[in-house]
Amino acid sequence: MLKTHRVLLLLSFFLLSACRSSEFNLDLEQQVEGATLLQFSKEGGFVLPPIPDSNPLTDGKAELGRHLFYDKRLSGNQTQSCESCHIQALAFTDGKALPQGSTGETLALNSQSLTNVAYNASYTWWNPILIRIEDQLFIPLTGDTPVELGINDGNLNTVLQRFRDDPSYQALFAAAFPNETDPYTLVNVAKALASFSRILISDRSAFDKGQLSDSAKRGQQLFFSESLECFHCHNGFNFSSSTVTINTRFPERVFFNNGLYNLNNNGSYPEDIQGKFKVTADWNDMGAFRPPTLRNIELTAPYMHDGSIATLEDVIDFYAAGGRNVTSGANQGDGRLNPYKSDFVNGFTLSAQEKTDLLNFLKSLTDYEFIADPRFANPFPAAEL
Ligand code: HEC
Ligand code: HEC
Protein backbone atom coordinates (compact mmCIF):
# COMPACT_ATOMS: atom_id res chain seq x y z
CA MET A 1 0.00 0.00 0.00
CA LEU A 2 1.10 3.55 -0.65
CA LYS A 3 2.44 5.53 2.23
CA THR A 4 0.46 8.73 2.03
CA HIS A 5 2.82 11.08 3.87
CA ARG A 6 5.51 10.58 1.25
CA VAL A 7 3.08 11.28 -1.53
CA LEU A 8 1.96 14.48 0.16
CA LEU A 9 5.55 15.64 0.51
CA LEU A 10 6.03 15.03 -3.18
CA LEU A 11 2.83 16.89 -3.90
CA SER A 12 3.82 20.01 -2.05
CA PHE A 13 7.00 20.03 -4.09
CA PHE A 14 5.00 19.75 -7.29
CA LEU A 15 2.64 22.51 -6.23
CA LEU A 16 5.58 24.83 -5.76
CA SER A 17 7.17 23.93 -9.05
CA ALA A 18 3.80 24.16 -10.81
CA CYS A 19 3.38 27.72 -9.52
CA ARG A 20 6.80 28.70 -10.72
CA SER A 21 6.52 27.34 -14.21
CA SER A 22 2.97 26.66 -15.26
CA GLU A 23 3.31 28.99 -18.25
CA PHE A 24 2.86 27.15 -21.47
CA ASN A 25 4.26 28.21 -24.76
CA LEU A 26 1.42 29.57 -26.82
CA ASP A 27 3.56 30.63 -29.74
CA LEU A 28 2.70 28.15 -32.44
CA GLU A 29 5.65 28.95 -34.70
CA GLN A 30 8.08 28.46 -31.87
CA GLN A 31 6.51 25.19 -30.78
CA VAL A 32 6.75 23.32 -34.02
CA GLU A 33 10.18 24.54 -35.00
CA GLY A 34 12.36 21.53 -35.68
CA ALA A 35 9.77 19.10 -34.44
CA THR A 36 9.00 17.20 -37.60
CA LEU A 37 8.22 14.17 -35.48
CA LEU A 38 5.18 15.90 -34.11
CA GLN A 39 2.75 14.67 -36.70
CA PHE A 40 -0.77 15.97 -36.76
CA SER A 41 -3.31 14.73 -39.19
CA LYS A 42 -3.44 16.73 -42.36
CA GLU A 43 -7.19 16.71 -42.86
CA GLY A 44 -9.08 18.32 -40.03
CA GLY A 45 -6.70 16.92 -37.43
CA PHE A 46 -5.97 18.07 -33.92
CA VAL A 47 -4.65 21.48 -32.97
CA LEU A 48 -1.29 21.50 -31.26
CA PRO A 49 -0.98 20.52 -27.61
CA PRO A 50 0.47 22.97 -25.08
CA ILE A 51 4.22 22.59 -24.62
CA PRO A 52 6.04 24.11 -21.64
CA ASP A 53 8.37 27.03 -22.38
CA SER A 54 11.02 25.25 -20.36
CA ASN A 55 11.03 22.24 -22.70
CA PRO A 56 10.44 23.13 -26.37
CA LEU A 57 9.77 20.06 -28.47
CA THR A 58 12.59 19.04 -30.80
CA ASP A 59 13.26 15.92 -32.81
CA GLY A 60 16.49 15.46 -30.88
CA LYS A 61 14.77 15.30 -27.52
CA ALA A 62 11.95 13.06 -28.75
CA GLU A 63 14.45 10.63 -30.26
CA LEU A 64 16.59 10.54 -27.11
CA GLY A 65 13.36 10.05 -25.16
CA ARG A 66 12.40 7.11 -27.35
CA HIS A 67 15.69 5.37 -26.61
CA LEU A 68 15.45 6.02 -22.87
CA PHE A 69 11.80 4.87 -22.83
CA TYR A 70 12.82 1.41 -24.07
CA ASP A 71 16.09 1.09 -22.13
CA LYS A 72 16.21 -0.99 -18.95
CA ARG A 73 19.41 0.76 -17.94
CA LEU A 74 17.12 3.59 -16.86
CA SER A 75 16.04 1.59 -13.79
CA GLY A 76 18.27 1.29 -10.74
CA ASN A 77 18.57 -2.49 -11.01
CA GLN A 78 18.33 -2.54 -14.84
CA THR A 79 15.27 -4.81 -14.88
CA GLN A 80 12.61 -2.37 -16.12
CA SER A 81 12.06 0.39 -18.61
CA CYS A 82 9.04 2.59 -19.18
CA GLU A 83 7.95 -0.02 -21.69
CA SER A 84 7.57 -2.59 -18.92
CA CYS A 85 4.27 -0.89 -18.11
CA HIS A 86 3.60 1.00 -21.35
CA ILE A 87 3.65 -1.38 -24.37
CA GLN A 88 3.06 0.10 -27.82
CA ALA A 89 0.89 -2.81 -29.08
CA LEU A 90 -1.45 -2.16 -26.13
CA ALA A 91 -1.60 1.62 -26.78
CA PHE A 92 1.10 1.96 -24.13
CA THR A 93 -0.65 0.05 -21.34
CA ASP A 94 0.44 -3.34 -20.00
CA GLY A 95 -2.60 -5.62 -20.01
CA LYS A 96 -2.46 -6.05 -16.23
CA ALA A 97 -4.89 -4.89 -13.57
CA LEU A 98 -2.00 -3.59 -11.46
CA PRO A 99 1.67 -3.49 -12.49
CA GLN A 100 4.74 -4.26 -10.42
CA GLY A 101 7.74 -1.97 -10.14
CA SER A 102 11.38 -2.97 -10.69
CA THR A 103 11.80 -4.32 -7.17
CA GLY A 104 8.55 -6.30 -7.25
CA GLU A 105 6.25 -3.93 -5.37
CA THR A 106 2.68 -3.85 -6.66
CA LEU A 107 1.34 -0.43 -7.63
CA ALA A 108 -2.11 0.71 -6.48
CA LEU A 109 -3.08 2.03 -9.93
CA ASN A 110 -3.51 0.60 -13.40
CA SER A 111 -0.89 1.56 -16.03
CA GLN A 112 -2.33 4.40 -18.08
CA SER A 113 -2.50 4.59 -21.83
CA LEU A 114 -0.12 7.18 -23.27
CA THR A 115 -2.47 7.83 -26.22
CA ASN A 116 -2.52 11.61 -26.86
CA VAL A 117 -1.04 12.16 -23.42
CA ALA A 118 0.13 15.64 -24.50
CA TYR A 119 -3.47 16.83 -24.40
CA ASN A 120 -4.33 15.84 -20.86
CA ALA A 121 -5.20 18.75 -18.58
CA SER A 122 -3.63 16.93 -15.64
CA TYR A 123 -1.56 13.80 -15.15
CA THR A 124 -2.21 10.45 -13.48
CA TRP A 125 -5.68 9.04 -12.85
CA TRP A 126 -6.35 11.21 -9.86
CA ASN A 127 -4.01 14.15 -9.30
CA PRO A 128 -5.29 17.65 -10.22
CA ILE A 129 -2.02 19.49 -9.59
CA LEU A 130 0.36 17.50 -11.76
CA ILE A 131 -0.10 19.48 -14.95
CA ARG A 132 3.13 18.83 -16.82
CA ILE A 133 4.42 15.45 -17.99
CA GLU A 134 7.90 16.51 -16.89
CA ASP A 135 6.73 16.71 -13.27
CA GLN A 136 4.72 13.49 -13.40
CA LEU A 137 7.75 11.54 -14.62
CA PHE A 138 9.62 11.97 -11.37
CA ILE A 139 7.17 9.48 -9.88
CA PRO A 140 8.07 6.46 -12.08
CA LEU A 141 11.72 7.55 -12.18
CA THR A 142 12.39 8.18 -8.50
CA GLY A 143 9.25 7.31 -6.52
CA ASP A 144 9.84 5.00 -3.58
CA THR A 145 6.29 4.40 -2.34
CA PRO A 146 6.14 2.13 -4.26
CA VAL A 147 9.37 1.81 -6.22
CA GLU A 148 8.90 1.87 -10.02
CA LEU A 149 12.21 2.42 -11.85
CA GLY A 150 13.97 2.89 -8.54
CA ILE A 151 16.39 5.75 -9.24
CA ASN A 152 17.51 7.23 -5.90
CA ASP A 153 20.24 9.42 -4.44
CA GLY A 154 22.44 6.36 -4.02
CA ASN A 155 22.34 5.14 -7.63
CA LEU A 156 21.56 8.30 -9.63
CA ASN A 157 25.16 8.85 -10.74
CA THR A 158 25.55 5.19 -11.65
CA VAL A 159 22.41 5.34 -13.78
CA LEU A 160 23.49 8.54 -15.56
CA GLN A 161 27.01 7.17 -16.08
CA ARG A 162 25.57 4.23 -18.07
CA PHE A 163 24.46 6.76 -20.69
CA ARG A 164 27.49 9.05 -20.38
CA ASP A 165 29.72 6.05 -21.21
CA ASP A 166 27.70 4.87 -24.22
CA PRO A 167 28.78 6.33 -27.59
CA SER A 168 25.31 6.08 -29.11
CA TYR A 169 23.83 8.01 -26.17
CA GLN A 170 26.63 10.58 -26.42
CA ALA A 171 25.35 11.40 -29.89
CA LEU A 172 21.70 11.35 -28.78
CA PHE A 173 22.29 13.62 -25.76
CA ALA A 174 24.36 16.01 -27.88
CA ALA A 175 21.57 16.27 -30.46
CA ALA A 176 18.95 16.75 -27.76
CA PHE A 177 20.83 19.29 -25.63
CA PRO A 178 23.32 20.88 -28.04
CA ASN A 179 24.46 23.72 -25.80
CA GLU A 180 25.23 21.74 -22.67
CA THR A 181 28.67 20.41 -21.78
CA ASP A 182 27.32 17.76 -19.38
CA PRO A 183 23.70 17.09 -20.37
CA TYR A 184 23.48 13.83 -18.37
CA THR A 185 21.03 14.99 -15.70
CA LEU A 186 17.76 13.58 -14.42
CA VAL A 187 15.99 16.78 -15.42
CA ASN A 188 17.16 16.31 -19.01
CA VAL A 189 16.14 12.65 -18.93
CA ALA A 190 12.65 13.76 -17.87
CA LYS A 191 12.59 16.44 -20.58
CA ALA A 192 13.48 13.90 -23.26
CA LEU A 193 10.95 11.33 -22.01
CA ALA A 194 8.24 14.01 -21.85
CA SER A 195 9.07 15.06 -25.41
CA PHE A 196 8.75 11.46 -26.61
CA SER A 197 5.47 11.10 -24.70
CA ARG A 198 4.11 14.23 -26.43
CA ILE A 199 4.58 12.84 -29.93
CA LEU A 200 2.43 9.79 -29.16
CA ILE A 201 -0.45 11.20 -31.18
CA SER A 202 -3.25 8.88 -32.20
CA ASP A 203 -5.54 10.37 -34.85
CA ARG A 204 -5.76 7.68 -37.52
CA SER A 205 -8.59 5.44 -36.28
CA ALA A 206 -11.54 4.35 -38.44
CA PHE A 207 -13.51 7.06 -36.63
CA ASP A 208 -10.99 9.72 -37.72
CA LYS A 209 -11.15 8.47 -41.28
CA GLY A 210 -14.94 8.53 -41.30
CA GLN A 211 -15.02 4.77 -41.87
CA LEU A 212 -17.75 3.78 -39.43
CA SER A 213 -19.86 0.68 -40.08
CA ASP A 214 -23.62 1.14 -39.82
CA SER A 215 -23.52 -0.56 -36.44
CA ALA A 216 -20.76 1.79 -35.20
CA LYS A 217 -22.79 4.76 -36.45
CA ARG A 218 -25.75 3.61 -34.39
CA GLY A 219 -23.37 3.17 -31.44
CA GLN A 220 -22.14 6.73 -31.93
CA GLN A 221 -25.74 7.98 -31.64
CA LEU A 222 -26.12 6.05 -28.39
CA PHE A 223 -22.81 7.35 -27.04
CA PHE A 224 -23.94 10.93 -27.64
CA SER A 225 -27.50 10.37 -26.35
CA GLU A 226 -28.99 11.87 -23.20
CA SER A 227 -29.97 8.39 -22.11
CA LEU A 228 -26.40 7.01 -21.99
CA GLU A 229 -24.71 10.34 -21.14
CA CYS A 230 -21.20 9.07 -22.05
CA PHE A 231 -20.34 12.25 -23.96
CA HIS A 232 -20.73 14.53 -20.94
CA CYS A 233 -17.52 13.15 -19.52
CA HIS A 234 -15.78 11.63 -22.56
CA ASN A 235 -16.05 14.47 -25.06
CA GLY A 236 -14.05 16.52 -27.56
CA PHE A 237 -11.55 15.16 -30.04
CA ASN A 238 -9.83 13.13 -27.34
CA PHE A 239 -13.00 11.71 -25.75
CA SER A 240 -12.02 13.09 -22.35
CA SER A 241 -13.48 16.25 -20.84
CA SER A 242 -10.12 17.02 -19.25
CA THR A 243 -8.36 18.05 -22.46
CA VAL A 244 -6.15 21.05 -23.25
CA THR A 245 -4.77 22.38 -26.52
CA ILE A 246 -2.65 25.34 -27.48
CA ASN A 247 -5.90 27.36 -27.63
CA THR A 248 -7.03 26.58 -24.09
CA ARG A 249 -6.69 29.69 -21.96
CA PHE A 250 -8.50 28.42 -18.89
CA PRO A 251 -8.00 24.68 -18.55
CA GLU A 252 -10.82 22.70 -16.97
CA ARG A 253 -9.52 19.89 -14.85
CA VAL A 254 -12.52 17.71 -14.22
CA PHE A 255 -12.79 14.57 -12.12
CA PHE A 256 -15.80 12.32 -11.63
CA ASN A 257 -16.94 9.55 -9.33
CA ASN A 258 -18.68 6.97 -11.51
CA GLY A 259 -19.88 4.70 -8.75
CA LEU A 260 -17.33 1.89 -8.58
CA TYR A 261 -17.29 1.67 -4.77
CA ASN A 262 -19.18 2.68 -1.66
CA LEU A 263 -17.34 1.34 1.38
CA ASN A 264 -19.16 1.63 4.71
CA ASN A 265 -22.09 3.12 2.79
CA ASN A 266 -20.52 6.54 3.32
CA GLY A 267 -19.19 6.92 -0.22
CA SER A 268 -15.61 5.87 0.58
CA TYR A 269 -13.32 4.34 -1.99
CA PRO A 270 -10.62 1.83 -0.93
CA GLU A 271 -7.83 3.38 1.08
CA ASP A 272 -5.08 5.14 -0.92
CA ILE A 273 -7.03 5.06 -4.20
CA GLN A 274 -9.65 7.64 -3.39
CA GLY A 275 -9.05 9.88 -6.40
CA LYS A 276 -8.83 13.65 -6.20
CA PHE A 277 -9.84 13.43 -2.51
CA LYS A 278 -6.26 12.43 -1.77
CA VAL A 279 -5.11 15.93 -2.68
CA THR A 280 -8.04 18.07 -1.56
CA ALA A 281 -9.41 16.04 1.40
CA ASP A 282 -12.80 17.37 0.24
CA TRP A 283 -15.45 14.62 0.42
CA ASN A 284 -17.02 15.93 -2.79
CA ASP A 285 -13.83 14.68 -4.47
CA MET A 286 -14.09 11.18 -2.98
CA GLY A 287 -13.62 8.61 -5.75
CA ALA A 288 -13.26 11.35 -8.37
CA PHE A 289 -10.95 10.40 -11.24
CA ARG A 290 -10.02 12.10 -14.51
CA PRO A 291 -12.15 10.77 -17.39
CA PRO A 292 -9.65 8.80 -19.50
CA THR A 293 -9.50 9.13 -23.26
CA LEU A 294 -11.54 6.42 -24.97
CA ARG A 295 -9.20 6.37 -27.97
CA ASN A 296 -7.66 2.88 -28.35
CA ILE A 297 -9.90 1.69 -25.52
CA GLU A 298 -10.28 -1.70 -27.20
CA LEU A 299 -6.57 -2.32 -26.55
CA THR A 300 -6.24 -1.17 -22.96
CA ALA A 301 -8.09 -3.76 -20.83
CA PRO A 302 -8.50 -4.23 -17.93
CA TYR A 303 -10.30 -0.98 -17.18
CA MET A 304 -10.64 1.76 -14.56
CA HIS A 305 -8.04 3.27 -12.21
CA ASP A 306 -7.50 -0.06 -10.46
CA GLY A 307 -8.04 -2.37 -13.42
CA SER A 308 -11.09 -3.80 -11.68
CA ILE A 309 -13.30 -4.23 -14.78
CA ALA A 310 -12.04 -6.92 -17.15
CA THR A 311 -13.68 -6.21 -20.51
CA LEU A 312 -15.40 -3.45 -22.49
CA GLU A 313 -18.64 -5.46 -22.38
CA ASP A 314 -18.40 -5.41 -18.59
CA VAL A 315 -17.78 -1.63 -18.63
CA ILE A 316 -21.02 -1.14 -20.60
CA ASP A 317 -22.90 -3.40 -18.15
CA PHE A 318 -21.39 -1.37 -15.29
CA TYR A 319 -22.71 1.93 -16.70
CA ALA A 320 -26.04 0.30 -17.60
CA ALA A 321 -26.40 -0.67 -13.92
CA GLY A 322 -25.59 2.90 -12.85
CA GLY A 323 -22.52 1.81 -10.87
CA ARG A 324 -21.22 -1.36 -9.22
CA ASN A 325 -22.61 -3.28 -6.29
CA VAL A 326 -19.70 -5.09 -4.60
CA THR A 327 -21.49 -7.80 -2.66
CA SER A 328 -18.66 -9.34 -0.64
CA GLY A 329 -15.07 -8.89 0.49
CA ALA A 330 -13.09 -5.94 1.79
CA ASN A 331 -14.57 -3.51 -0.74
CA GLN A 332 -18.19 -4.48 -0.11
CA GLY A 333 -20.74 -1.75 -0.72
CA ASP A 334 -23.21 -0.58 -3.35
CA GLY A 335 -21.43 1.92 -5.61
CA ARG A 336 -24.73 2.66 -7.34
CA LEU A 337 -25.75 4.46 -4.14
CA ASN A 338 -22.47 6.32 -3.66
CA PRO A 339 -23.49 9.84 -2.52
CA TYR A 340 -20.62 11.41 -4.49
CA LYS A 341 -21.45 9.63 -7.76
CA SER A 342 -21.97 11.92 -10.77
CA ASP A 343 -25.57 12.64 -11.77
CA PHE A 344 -24.65 11.51 -15.28
CA VAL A 345 -24.23 7.89 -14.16
CA ASN A 346 -27.84 6.81 -13.78
CA GLY A 347 -28.15 3.50 -15.56
CA PHE A 348 -29.96 2.65 -18.78
CA THR A 349 -31.28 -0.32 -20.71
CA LEU A 350 -29.79 -1.54 -24.00
CA SER A 351 -30.91 -4.33 -26.30
CA ALA A 352 -28.26 -6.87 -27.32
CA GLN A 353 -28.02 -5.15 -30.72
CA GLU A 354 -27.58 -1.72 -29.12
CA LYS A 355 -24.84 -3.03 -26.87
CA THR A 356 -23.03 -4.44 -29.92
CA ASP A 357 -23.48 -1.10 -31.66
CA LEU A 358 -21.96 0.84 -28.76
CA LEU A 359 -19.06 -1.62 -28.62
CA ASN A 360 -18.47 -1.22 -32.34
CA PHE A 361 -18.38 2.54 -31.94
CA LEU A 362 -15.81 2.25 -29.15
CA LYS A 363 -13.76 -0.13 -31.31
CA SER A 364 -13.84 2.37 -34.17
CA LEU A 365 -11.51 4.49 -32.00
CA THR A 366 -8.73 1.90 -32.31
CA ASP A 367 -5.77 3.30 -34.25
CA TYR A 368 -3.81 0.43 -35.80
CA GLU A 369 -1.31 2.79 -37.41
CA PHE A 370 -0.50 4.26 -34.00
CA ILE A 371 0.41 0.90 -32.46
CA ALA A 372 2.55 -0.04 -35.48
CA ASP A 373 4.17 3.37 -36.00
CA PRO A 374 7.95 2.87 -36.20
CA ARG A 375 8.55 6.38 -34.78
CA PHE A 376 7.07 5.21 -31.48
CA ALA A 377 8.65 1.76 -31.51
CA ASN A 378 11.55 0.20 -29.64
CA PRO A 379 14.73 1.46 -31.37
CA PHE A 380 16.91 -1.38 -30.09
CA PRO A 381 17.43 -4.65 -31.95
CA ALA A 382 15.66 -7.48 -30.10
CA ALA A 383 18.86 -9.13 -28.86
CA GLU A 384 20.11 -6.01 -27.14
CA LEU A 385 17.48 -5.86 -24.37
C1 HEC B 1 5.84 -0.15 -12.91
C2 HEC B 1 4.98 0.34 -13.96
C3 HEC B 1 5.29 1.68 -14.60
C4 HEC B 1 6.50 2.12 -15.09
C5 HEC B 1 7.83 1.42 -15.05
C6 HEC B 1 6.24 3.39 -15.69
N7 HEC B 1 4.91 3.71 -15.57
FE8 HEC B 1 4.00 5.35 -16.33
N9 HEC B 1 2.33 4.91 -15.31
C10 HEC B 1 2.14 3.77 -14.57
C11 HEC B 1 0.94 3.89 -13.78
C12 HEC B 1 0.38 2.86 -12.81
C13 HEC B 1 0.40 5.17 -14.07
C14 HEC B 1 -0.82 5.82 -13.38
C15 HEC B 1 -0.27 6.43 -12.08
C16 HEC B 1 -1.30 7.09 -11.20
O17 HEC B 1 -2.45 7.27 -11.60
O18 HEC B 1 -0.93 7.48 -10.07
C19 HEC B 1 1.30 5.78 -15.04
C20 HEC B 1 1.12 7.05 -15.59
C21 HEC B 1 1.98 7.60 -16.54
C22 HEC B 1 1.75 8.85 -17.22
C23 HEC B 1 0.56 9.78 -17.03
C24 HEC B 1 -0.49 9.45 -18.06
C25 HEC B 1 -1.72 10.28 -17.94
O26 HEC B 1 -2.57 10.18 -18.82
O27 HEC B 1 -1.89 11.03 -16.97
C28 HEC B 1 2.82 9.06 -18.05
C29 HEC B 1 3.05 10.24 -18.97
C30 HEC B 1 3.70 7.94 -17.88
N31 HEC B 1 3.15 7.05 -16.97
C32 HEC B 1 4.90 7.78 -18.56
C33 HEC B 1 5.89 6.90 -18.12
C34 HEC B 1 7.28 6.97 -18.54
C35 HEC B 1 7.85 7.94 -19.55
C36 HEC B 1 7.93 5.99 -17.86
C37 HEC B 1 9.42 5.70 -17.83
C38 HEC B 1 10.20 6.74 -17.18
C39 HEC B 1 6.94 5.29 -17.06
N40 HEC B 1 5.72 5.87 -17.24
C41 HEC B 1 7.21 4.17 -16.29
C42 HEC B 1 2.97 2.65 -14.55
C43 HEC B 1 4.31 2.70 -14.90
C1 HEC C 1 -19.79 11.16 -14.98
C2 HEC C 1 -18.80 11.08 -16.02
C3 HEC C 1 -18.79 9.85 -16.88
C4 HEC C 1 -19.79 9.31 -17.65
C5 HEC C 1 -21.21 9.79 -17.82
C6 HEC C 1 -19.21 8.18 -18.32
N7 HEC C 1 -17.89 8.03 -17.96
FE8 HEC C 1 -16.68 6.57 -18.54
N9 HEC C 1 -15.30 7.16 -17.16
C10 HEC C 1 -15.40 8.27 -16.36
C11 HEC C 1 -14.34 8.26 -15.39
C12 HEC C 1 -14.08 9.33 -14.35
C13 HEC C 1 -13.61 7.09 -15.62
C14 HEC C 1 -12.44 6.58 -14.78
C15 HEC C 1 -13.02 6.10 -13.47
C16 HEC C 1 -12.11 5.32 -12.57
O17 HEC C 1 -11.12 4.79 -13.03
O18 HEC C 1 -12.42 5.23 -11.36
C19 HEC C 1 -14.24 6.43 -16.74
C20 HEC C 1 -13.80 5.23 -17.30
C21 HEC C 1 -14.34 4.67 -18.45
C22 HEC C 1 -13.76 3.58 -19.16
C23 HEC C 1 -12.47 2.85 -18.77
C24 HEC C 1 -11.29 3.66 -19.28
C25 HEC C 1 -9.95 3.06 -18.96
O26 HEC C 1 -8.97 3.54 -19.56
O27 HEC C 1 -9.84 2.15 -18.15
C28 HEC C 1 -14.56 3.33 -20.26
C29 HEC C 1 -14.33 2.27 -21.31
C30 HEC C 1 -15.65 4.27 -20.20
N31 HEC C 1 -15.48 5.07 -19.09
C32 HEC C 1 -16.67 4.33 -21.14
C33 HEC C 1 -17.83 5.05 -20.92
C34 HEC C 1 -19.06 4.88 -21.65
C35 HEC C 1 -19.24 3.92 -22.81
C36 HEC C 1 -19.98 5.71 -21.09
C37 HEC C 1 -21.44 5.84 -21.42
C38 HEC C 1 -22.20 4.62 -21.26
C39 HEC C 1 -19.31 6.42 -20.02
N40 HEC C 1 -18.01 5.99 -19.95
C41 HEC C 1 -19.90 7.36 -19.21
C42 HEC C 1 -16.38 9.22 -16.44
C43 HEC C 1 -17.61 9.02 -17.06
Distances (CA, A) of 116 to 14, 40, 56, 132, 296: 22, 11, 17, 14, 10
Measured from the Cα of 229, ligand 2's closest atom is 5
Ligand 1 centroid – CA 213 distance (Å):
34
Q: Write down the pLDDT at residue 130.
A: 96
Residue 187 phi/psi, 5-degree rounding, is: -60, -45
- Condensed to tens digits (0 to 9), the pLDDT of residues 306-334 reads 999 999 999 999 999 999 999 999 999 99
Which residue, among 6, 282, 234, has the nearest Cα to 128 in the 3D structure?
282
Q: Which domain holds residue 15?
A: 4-202
Per the annotation, does 233 bind a ligand? Answer: yes
CATH code assigned at 143: 1.10.760.10
Specify if 168 maps to a domain: yes
Specify if 326 maps to a domain: no
| pLDDT band (50, 70, 90) for residue 197 | very high
Q: Taking 90 as the threshold, does the pLDDT of residue 340 lie above it?
A: yes
pTM: 0.92
Name the E strands within the chain: 24-25, 51-52, 325-326, 333-334
Q: Write down the pLDDT at residue 2.
A: 38
230 lines ligand 2 (CB under 6 A): yes
The residue whose CB lies within 8 Å of the most ligand 1 atoms, and thus the one to mutate among 70, 112, 138, 242, is 112
234 lines ligand 2 (CB under 6 A): yes
Specify if 87 maps to a domain: yes
- What is the C-alpha to C-alpha distance for residues 26 and 244, in angstroms, rounded to an integer? 12
Per the annotation, does 19 bind a ligand? Answer: no
- Condensed to tens digits (0 to 9), the pLDDT of residues 141-153 reads 999 999 999 999 9
User: Which stretch of DSSP H or E encloses residue 189?
Assistant: helix 186-198
Number of separate domains in the chain: 1
Q: What's the mean per-residue pLDDT of the chain?
A: 89
Specify if 385 maps to a domain: no
Ligand 1 centroid – CA 62 distance (Å):
17
Measured from the Cα of 69, ligand 1's closest atom is 37
Query: Which of the 8 DSSP states describes residue 329?
Result: S
Q: What is the percent of the chain where pLDDT is above 90? A: 82
Ligand 1 centroid – CA 214 distance (Å):
36
DSSP string across 145-162:
TTBSS---TTTHHHHHHH
Specify if 83 maps to a domain: yes
Cis omega (within 30 of 0) on the bond before 183? Answer: no
What SS3 state is found at 326?
Answer: strand
